[in-house]
Amino acid sequence: MPFKKNVLIVDDNKMNRQMLSQVLYCQYKILEAESGEEALELLHNSKLSISVVLLRFALPDMNGIEVLAEISRDVFLRKIPVVLFARNDELDSKTKAEVQSLGVQNFIQPPFTAESVRQQIVNAILYSEKAKLLDFAQRDRLTSLYAREPFYHLITEVLEKNPDKKYDILCSDIERFKLVNELFGSEEGDALLKFVAQMIEDKVKDVGICGRIGGDIFAALIPHQDQYSEQFFSESADFINQYNSNLHSVIKFGIYTIEDRTLPANIMCARACLALESIKGKYGMHCAYYDDSIRQKLLDEQFILSNMKSALVNREFVVFFQPKYDLLDEKICSAEALVRWKHPERGLIPPNQFIQIFENNGFITELDLYVLEETCKWVRSWIDRGNPMIPVSVNISRADIFNSNLDAILLSLLKKYGLDPSHIHLEITESAYTENAEQMIHGIKQLKELGFVIEMDDFGSGYSSLNMLSELPIDVLKLDMRFVQNYDRSRDKRNIMSFVISLAKWMNLKVVAEGVETEEQVNLLKLLGCHWVQGFFYSKPLPLDAFETLIEQVNFSNTEYTLETAEGRAKPAHNILRLDVEKKNMLILDPTSKEFEPFQSVFDEKYCILKANTMQETRDCIFNQKLKISIVIFSVTKEITLEHISEISLLCKQYDIPLITIHSSIELVKNAASLGAFHCIVKPYVLENLENTVENTLCRMKVVQLQKEIKFSDAIIEMKNRAEIDFLSGLLNHSELKIRMRDFYNQNHEASGVFILIDIDHFKSINTSFGYNVGNKVIHAVGKMLEAIFNDTNFIARIDGDLFAVFIPFQMERQVLEQKLERVCHAMAYDNSDVSLTIDCSVGVCYAENNTTTIEEMFNNAEIALLNARKNQKGRFLFYFEGMKAPLNENIQQQTFSFLDDVSDGVFVCDALSGEIIYINDAACKIMNMEKNNCIGAIGFGLFWNKNKKCELCLQLDDYDTTFYEHDGYLNDGETKAHIKVRIDDWNGRTVKIHYLQKIG
């Protein structure tokens, strides 16, 4: 039986409904409503199943325009075609135009025939099907949600049609989604995206619209709610793990309540995304609202960026010192230099508000050198006043390590102040080692060879493995404060602390616990054998005068420890705890005391024998001496229960102490072994065999620990491969290519080479026409092709999307190179069971001679050549030459101008050399009370400030960098006061000045 479409007939006249039903029932399934209210209720309940509405214009409760207005407000209902039937006197030209504006395309007016009614219904359905095809074209191909731009357009449309209704924007993001792609492949990632998209659509489809606005970012427009239930978001978080629990996916939501409807839709979504960003990585938090605090954070960041350079010049950055204490005698042994920002208006700005920003924009290197010199200056001053030397540790960043002149800068400072490298310790945060680890390790080894003491800061906050730890050239391990906070609430934390401190000792590393705040934490750290501590329990970071007052009033620690210098000679380093050289302990638990004497006779020279007669004595001994206990011997007498064995076994496992049990009969051995005993001895035993038994047990323990290390190492190797290789093409990824190129040039200073960028022509259409699966296979095939053509180099990578790179680390003969490039550009046949394609590529080439071109310049120059190759004619290659410019992207420029048109502040852009205005927005024209056409082409300093030449400020700005300069001033009428911000920028090779005007008062 053929499927029948549903037709809703809306008429208060029963006879009319029956007559129309009689005409249509053979082809359609008929639904009826006798009022506008009833029709709207039916539509809301069955909107997805109704194909067309046959609406009587004149209804008793509401007229056709009112019904149509309600339908048009709903983003889903307005897609249903409406055929309006009305008398001639009801539908004048004005009314007809109004109903057409509400979406009506088809009309029935008396007198009408059965055939004309059927034809109008067919026409309406055909029109609807075309609209659905258009809607499909606006959908994201992968998820079937609205694509970004159509979604933004729909938001604007819904807001315009519902001016009195309040709405919210919800944005969601899957945390660490890139990791899903890396570990499980893009097909699994795409499947997860579709799953999440379906979940979001199911949640909002009855009330709003949703779209995919980024890779793994989804957005929805829904009616405003004063309060969202936490259950709504937590259920979403739980639901996505039903797809694949192995992915451990986490989804976060950001909410922006639309207050300003004049904002572009993309800005509204961006605000919801900013709210979302504020809770990324925060466990248990599922949603966040965009509010003034987020806006304030953006303003604060802008303030910091605008003031950082002047703050350095004005010496607003102040060095504080926090003492470190030796746990042996609880006296000061060294200190850490910490920076604070004392702003003249805002007061003390804590480092957590500016350090990350400086690391992101590179200013951290200037600040680090400033702190380093201030520290050296103070250490020199302190020694010159006849005081004992205090080592001070100074933080250096990743950017510092990558500075090839760092060693020269450090040695120059030490020479300037007459200091030794051992006076200054260098602290490098753990997370710095996790990216470009090989390059970092190489740089730090050079510093260590110069004699600097290297400390790993914040250990435990990053992702260091035991395998990596063994490779790092460090002397001191600083435990992140989370290791020592709330330790008493978690046995696992105590286990981790014990393990890390034991491991550090085994590796001859010193340990500093930072963030120590309570006496309980201090006592625990003493038990664990930690060397040093710093934290508020002893002293907060102090300004210089307060720090000097403190250290003048106390005695210094007298302990010392020996560091190996680069030449391998032992060198004393004062105030550092020396290694424990005492012999280890053997603990024997024996309620009868019969085992003490024989064990003492065998092991007295190697071990200190600790005796315990009761379970409580054993517990106390393990807790107090655990770091010095090598092995536990447990004599299982009849007074000992399985629970006792289990308890001691767990204690030993907790502290990695091997356990040997002694039994009077063979029956008890099985139970002890199952509970974790490493070895079981049955009486009577041979005294001479005891030493072998203990040694074998210790060896087994070492094997277990080694197996753990191997497991860690294997995992690291696998992660390293995943980090270096692009999973889709099998080539290097972008980051690894840059690392290997830098390593190559560091080792071959005079080397020349060729850098090539390759882009697949029309790749987007391949994805669109044949799907992402075929696109992925094409990327893999191109990767194999590049490996075959450039088989004389290992520097081949996929940069992103369909962009590839090849670096040839020598000067290849031009003719040979061009032959290879021709093969890359033209007609690679791709053929599989699904589709046959001919793939062309465009190529940009850059020569790098005698190391005169940086890696970044190679990328930029090759990209300029590639863009010109694509613009002029796809499927060709071009060599970069000096002065070649990137082709102007008119679309991007037009989008930029379109965006600036909507900005509420005045904006105009002029040529930096001539002053000619090349762009001005409506807000700036309004401030000047002029038409835009009269402003374009005018001279900026003449139009706005009534000057016939550049003023002093303009001349200063010509030499200014790309940060904003801002001041308050008057415009040409002498009355309009404005806050003015100016920045120099480069627009496709043209130097321009961007002006922002904000009217004051």
pLDDT tens digits along 135-184? 666 778 788 888 888 899 889 988 988 888 999 999 998 887 877 776 67
pLDDT at 369 over 90: yes
How high is the pLDDT of residue 579?
29
Q: What superfamily does domain 5-137 belong to in CATH? A: Response regulator (3.40.50.2300)
Higher pLDDT, 334 or 229: 334
Reduce the DSSP state of residue 230 to 3 states and report it: helix
How high is the pLDDT of residue 575?
32
* Residue 789 one-letter amino acid: I
Class of domain 303-574: alpha beta
> How far apart are the C-alpha atoms of 370 and 365, rounded to whole Å?
9
> How far apart are the C-alpha atoms of 392 and 902, rounded to whole Å?
53
Query: 528: closest CA among 588, 457, 561, 479?
Result: 479
Burial of 569 (0-12, 13-18, 19+ CB in 10 A): exposed
> How far apart are the C-alpha atoms of 361 and 304, rounded to whole Å?
11
- Mean local confidence (pLDDT), 453-469: 66
Residue with tokens 């044949």: 770
Q: By mean pLDDT, which of 133-147, 907-921, 943-957, 969-983 is the weakest?
A: 943-957
- Mean local confidence (pLDDT), 431-458: 78
Residue with tokens 């509400």: 102
Q: Would you place residue 766 in the very low, low, confident or very high pLDDT band (cuts 50, 70, 90)? A: confident
Q: Would you place residue 684 in the very low, low, confident or very high pLDDT band (cuts 50, 70, 90)? A: confident
Classify domain 890-999 by CATH architecture.
2-Layer Sandwich (3.30)
How high is the pLDDT of residue 739?
82
CATH assignment of 585-707, among 3.40.50.2300, 3.30.365.10, 1.10.10.10, 3.40.50.2000: 3.40.50.2300
* Cis upstream peptide for 658 (omega within 30°): no
Higher pLDDT, 508 or 363: 363
Higher pLDDT, 255 or 444: 255
How high is the pLDDT of residue 561?
36
pLDDT tens digits along 595-626? 788 888 888 777 888 888 888 888 888 777 65
- Mean local confidence (pLDDT), 437-461: 81
How high is the pLDDT of residue 116?
82
pLDDT at 569 over 60: no
CATH topology of domain 148-290: Alpha-Beta Plaits (3.30.70)
Which helix (H) or strand (E) is 309 found in, with range? helix 292-313
> How far apart are the C-alpha atoms of 293 and 277, rounded to whole Å?
13
Query: 443: closest CA among 420, 472, 414?
Result: 472
- Mean local confidence (pLDDT), 955-982: 72
Q: By mean pLDDT, which of 100-114, 306-320, 453-467, 781-795 is the weakest?
A: 453-467
> What average pLDDT does the structure give for the chain?
79
- Mean local confidence (pLDDT), 9-17: 86
pLDDT tens digits along 715-758? 555 555 556 788 788 898 888 888 888 878 877 766 678 999 99
Residue 815's alpha-carbon distances to 754, 759, 821, 822, in angstroms, are 13, 22, 10, 11
pLDDT at 240 over 80: no
- Mean local confidence (pLDDT), 69-94: 80
pLDDT tens digits along 380-407? 999 999 888 889 999 998 888 888 788 8
How high is the pLDDT of residue 892?
52
Reduce the DSSP state of residue 455 to 3 states and report it: strand
Determine contact, residues 534/325, Cβ cutoff 8 Å.
Answer: yes
Q: Would you place residue 496 in the very low, low, confident or very high pLDDT band (cuts 50, 70, 90)? A: low
* Residue 997 one-letter amino acid: L
Say yes or no: do domains 303-574 and 732-879 share a fold.
Answer: no
How high is the pLDDT of residue 167?
94
Burial of 163 (0-12, 13-18, 19+ CB in 10 A): exposed
How high is the pLDDT of residue 343?
92
Q: Would you place residue 487 in the very low, low, confident or very high pLDDT band (cuts 50, 70, 90)? A: very low
pLDDT over 70, % of the chain: 82
Q: Would you place residue 666 in the very low, low, confident or very high pLDDT band (cuts 50, 70, 90)? A: low
> How far apart are the C-alpha atoms of 652 and 673, rounded to whole Å?
14
Q: What superfamily does domain 732-879 belong to in CATH? A: Reverse transcriptase/Diguanylate cyclase domain (3.30.70.270)
The number of helices, as runs of H, and strands, as runs of E, in the chain is 35, 40
How high is the pLDDT of residue 394?
96
Which residues, 6+ apart, have CB-to-CB distance to 38 below 8 Å? 10
Determine contact, residues 830/840, Cβ cutoff 8 Å.
Answer: no
How high is the pLDDT of residue 376?
95
Domain ranges of the chain: 5-137, 148-290, 303-574, 585-707, 732-879, 890-999
Using alpha carbons only, give the angle 855, 860, 863 rounded to the nearest 5 degrees.
125
Q: Would you place residue 891 in the very low, low, confident or very high pLDDT band (cuts 50, 70, 90)? A: low
Long-range pairs for 177-185: beta carbons < 8 A, 24 or more residues apart: 177/215, 177/216, 180/247, 180/249, 181/727, 182/722, 182/727, 183/722, 184/247, 185/727
pLDDT at 564 over 50: no
Q: Would you place residue 312 in the very low, low, confident or very high pLDDT band (cuts 50, 70, 90)? A: very high
DSSP conformation class of 665: S
Q: Which residues pair with 223 in a beta bridge?
A: 167
